[in-house]
Amino acid sequence: MPVIRSHHLSAILTVSPRFVSWQEVDFLALLKEAVSAAQLTAVGEVAHTFQPQGISVALLLAESHVALHFWPDLQKVAIDIHVCDYQQENQHKAEHLAELLTAKLTDPNLRAVKATDPAPVWHYLSASG
């Protein structure tokens, strides 16, 4: 009987100040570009803007999903990446997506100035059955 593996990566990142004015469409475009570069397949999308502030966007992937939740007042994003191995191994694609999103969203120069912001840390969970 085949085994299915599930890979989940998550992080809370401090983002560059340039993202404070971004809208749903901007974050969706960023996710789509990164997903494509990681060789994953977007098959659907959803977005919501909260009042008075905050944005959540998600892409449904052929491999599972990726979601980004943005708090502009805190300059923080929470990102969840979930991929499954069904007919191929996808863990390396999820890890590449995490690297791409970290590079696109964070400002290493800002982290060097603001010592209270730790370097981006991704948490990984794997399950199989």
The Cα–Cα gap between 96 and 38 comes to 6
pLDDT for 10 = 98
DSSP 3-state assignment of 65?
strand
Residue linked to tokens 């007042």: 73
Residue linked to tokens 């999103």: 101
pLDDT for 71 = 97
Angle between helices 91-105 and 24-37 (to 10 degrees): 140
pLDDT for 117 = 57
Tokens of 108: 């290493």
pLDDT for 110 = 57
Active-site residue, 69 included: yes
Active-site residue, 64 included: yes
Chunk the chain into consecutive blocks of 10 residues (it has 129) and report each block's average pLDDT, rounded to whole numbers. Answer: 89 94 97 98 98 98 98 96 91 97 85 56 92
pLDDT for 101 = 97
Active-site residue, 126 included: no
Tokens of 75: 């300059």
Residue tagged active-site, from 16, 69, 82, 126:
69
The hierarchical CATH code for the domain 5-128 is 3.60.90.10
Residue tagged active-site, from 84, 92, 96, 126:
84
